């Protein structure tokens, strides 16, 4: 009996240890995301554009001539962040969610440029590869800046623009993250579990529940990719300025901003709204930097209402 109890005790300890190993959290996170994508009807594809092999989630619409939505994630993020938001969107849309170069399964190459204008050019190549003439671009954070660059460089390929807490202008009021940047610190470059916890707390006001062992797995991935993210930041932080050119964007535009954003202060929203000639502004109270993750239903409804309004 004592041997049995000892054996059971060892098994419990091994299982407990495996649960808290970062690799376990990473495995659970990635497999959960793949399952969620499949449940929502998304197929994962690999599409070549020049020297980039895009990893893309795609959910075709119910009709062949349906409008296309392209969803762009932010810096250090990946396409999976859009899944619950995308699941709220009508099947009347053809939906594409790429991992941007440098991120996710599209991967990183130290020889690539990560400037927003270069990323926008790659996305035009992605549309060409899929024989899509026009699309609505929906971008969060860095993805919003890239979408704005696309609007400026390829206006004939853009149906409408949605930017959600976008990067790209100097905020009248600095965010907590911006104050760290001014001290020479980046909350995105993770060196420890404590760093990741502080960063994660800045991304959302009320984040959805994620078990700690999964978060620890995510933290380990951030630590491993720190040098890659630093190189991307060199291109991204010295981005192609759009603030002085936003008035040239002719596409109808929706600006969505989380009022409690700690990465990009909500005061930036006014600048975007003033500069974009055909824009609407929607501030979401009590929401942080990633409304599509924090409030997927509310954010998707606001976006769909905007797109439906364009049909009138």
The full set of domain ranges for the chain reads 2-309
Burial label, 11 (beta-carbon count in 10 A; 0-12, 13-18, 19+): exposed
By percentage, how much of the chain surpasses pLDDT 90?
82
Burial label, 285 (beta-carbon count in 10 A; 0-12, 13-18, 19+): exposed
By percentage, how much of the chain surpasses pLDDT 70?
93
pLDDT in tens, 116-131: 999 999 999 999 999 9
* Distance from C-alpha of 49 to C-alpha of 112, rounded to nearest angstrom: 13
pLDDT in tens, 196-237: 999 999 999 999 999 999 999 999 999 999 999 999 998 887
C-alpha distances out from residue 117 to 83, 145, 151, 241, Å: 25, 9, 10, 10
**DSSP tag of 45:** E
C-alpha distances out from residue 213 to 24, 80, 201, 217, 226, Å: 8, 19, 16, 6, 20
C-alpha distances out from residue 304 to 138, 236, 254, Å: 11, 29, 11
> Can you give the length of the chain in residues?
312
pLDDT for the residue 240? 66
Burial 260-277 (b: 16+ CB within 10 A, else e): bbbbbbbbbbbbbbebbe
pLDDT for the residue 30? 85
Distance of CA 23 to the CA centre of its chain: 23
Q: Is 97 helix (H, G, I), strand (E, B) or coil?
A: strand
pLDDT in tens, 255-310: 999 999 999 999 999 999 999 999 999 999 999 999 999 999 999 999 999 999 99
- What predicted TM-score, i.e. pTM, was given to this entire model? 0.92
Contacts of 298 (CB under 8 A, 6+ apart): 284, 291
Least confident of 14-18, 49-53, 150-154, 202-206: 14-18
Confidence band for 239, pLDDT divided at 50, 70 and 90:
low
Q: Is the pLDDT of residue 55 over 90?
A: yes
- 132-139 average pLDDT score: 98
Domain 2-309 has CATH 3.40.50.10860: no
Is residue 25 within 8 Å of 79, Cβ to Cβ?
no
């Amino acid at each position: 009996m004592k041997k049995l109890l000892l054996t059971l005790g060892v098994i419990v300890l091994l299982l407990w240890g495996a649960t808290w190993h970062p690799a376990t959290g990473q495995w659970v996170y990635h497999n959960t995301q793949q399952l969620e994508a499949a449940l929502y009807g998304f197929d994962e594809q690999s599409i070549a554009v020049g020297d980039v092999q895009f990893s893309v989630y795609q959910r075709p619409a119910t009709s062949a001539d349906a409008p296309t939505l392209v969803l762009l994630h932010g810096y250090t993020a990946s396409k999976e962040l859009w899944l619950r938001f995308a699941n709220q969107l009508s099947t009347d849309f053809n939906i594409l969610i790429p991992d941007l170069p440098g991120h996710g399964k599209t991967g990183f190459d130290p020889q690539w440029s990560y400037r927003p204008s270069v990323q926008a050019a790659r996305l035009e190549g992605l549309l060409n590869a899929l024989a899509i003439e026009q699309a609505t671009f929906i971008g969060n954070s860095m993805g919003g800046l890239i979408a704005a660059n696309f609007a400026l460089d390829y206006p004939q390929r853009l149906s409408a623009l949605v930017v959600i807490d976008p990067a790209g202008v100097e905020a009248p009021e600095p965010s907590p993250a911006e104050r760290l940047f001014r001290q020479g610190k980046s909350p995105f470059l993770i060196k420890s579990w404590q760093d990741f916890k502080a960063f994660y707390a800045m991304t959302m006001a009320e984040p959805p529940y994620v078990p700690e062992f999964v978060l620890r797995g995510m933290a380990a991935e951030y630590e491993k990719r720190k040098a890659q993210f630093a190189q991307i930041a060199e291109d991204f932080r010295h981005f192609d300025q759009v603030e002085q050119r936003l008035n040239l964007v002719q596409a109808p535009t929706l600006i969505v901003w989380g009022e409690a954003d700690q990465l990009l202060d909500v005061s930036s929203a006014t600048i975007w709204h003033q500069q974009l000639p055909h824009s609407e502004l929607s501030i979401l109270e009590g929401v942080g930097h990633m409304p599509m993750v924090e409030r997927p239903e509310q954010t998707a409804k606001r976006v769909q209402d905007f797109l439906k309004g364009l049909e009138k």
